């Protein structure tokens, strides 16, 4: 199945007093009304996934973890217990539960970034520091080197 969702861009927002974030208009239609908020397993942020993407992750990865893989089952249990499904309201707002805001360190200022198949919700200051930690050109060179090594090892 070809992935058609392509989220790109960066937007700064603020949580409202009820813990909701306004989703930028350009993301609303591709997200759909039912979304999944997932604790990132790699960084201190929250993934915001369309229903179809969350179902793909479940089907392709989580459901295939062997019941005999203790670490895999622990990861599956930990991840699934923190997933929240939510409905986007008519104003394009999504509620972010406190436990997920705490995981990402989100108090007020939120940066929403598009990462092709998902959105990520970051505390704005943490996102700024993350971006500054490795300049884009440095990251590009590192990824290019990995691709080159992978290509030469499979074609040689």
pLDDT of residue 137: 85
The string of DSSP codes covering 84-136 is EEEE--TTSEEE--HHHHHHHT-SSEEEEEE-BS-EEEEEHHHHHHHHHHS-H
Average pLDDT over residues 88-100: 96
pLDDT, averaged across the chain: 90
pLDDT band at 1 (very low <50, low <70, confident <90, very high): very low
Average pLDDT over residues 97-109: 96
How many angstroms separate the CA atoms of 38 and 92, rounded? 19
pLDDT over 90, % of the chain: 65
CATH topology of domain 10-124: Chemotaxis protein chec (3.40.1550)
58-76: pLDDT as tens digits: 888 888 899 999 999 998 8
How many angstroms separate the CA atoms of 150 and 53, rounded? 27
Residue 151 pLDDT greater than 80, yes or no? no
How many angstroms separate the CA atoms of 147 and 40, rounded? 25
How many angstroms separate the CA atoms of 118 and 135, rounded? 22
Q: Structure pTM?
A: 0.84
Residue 2 pLDDT greater than 60, yes or no? no
How far from 100 is each of 5, 7, 155, CA to CA, in Å?
24, 21, 44
Q: How far is CA 133 from the centre of its chain?
A: 19
104 vs 141, higher pLDDT:
104
Residue 156 pLDDT greater than 60, yes or no? no
What does the CA dihedral 74, 77, 81, 85 come to, rounded to 10 degrees? 130
Contact assessment for residue 88 and residue 33, using Cβ atoms and an 8 Å cutoff:
yes
pLDDT of residue 18: 96
> Where does residue 112 rank: exposed (0-12), middle (13-18), buried (19+ CB within 10 A)?
buried
Average pLDDT over residues 85-94: 96
133-150: pLDDT as tens digits: 888 888 888 888 887 776
């Amino acid at each position: 199945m070809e992935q058609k969702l392509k989220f790109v861009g960066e937007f700064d927002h603020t949580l409202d007093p009820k813990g909701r974030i306004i989703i930028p208009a350009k993301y609303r239609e591709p997200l759909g009304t039912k979304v999944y908020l997932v604790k990132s397993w790699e960084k201190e942020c929250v993934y915001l996934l369309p229903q179809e993407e969350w179902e793909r992750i479940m089907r392709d990865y989580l459901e295939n973890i062997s019941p005999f893989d203790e670490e895999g089952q622990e990861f599956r249990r930990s991840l699934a217990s923190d997933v929240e499904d939510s409905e986007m309201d008519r104003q394009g707002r999504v509620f972010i539960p406190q436990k997920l805001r705490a995981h990402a360190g989100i108090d007020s200022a939120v940066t929403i970034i598009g990462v092709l198949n998902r959105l990520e919700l970051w505390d704005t200051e943490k996102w700024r520091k993350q971006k500054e930690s490795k300049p884009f050109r440095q990251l590009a060179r590192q990824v290019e080197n990995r691709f080159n090594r992978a290509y030469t090892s499979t074609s040689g």
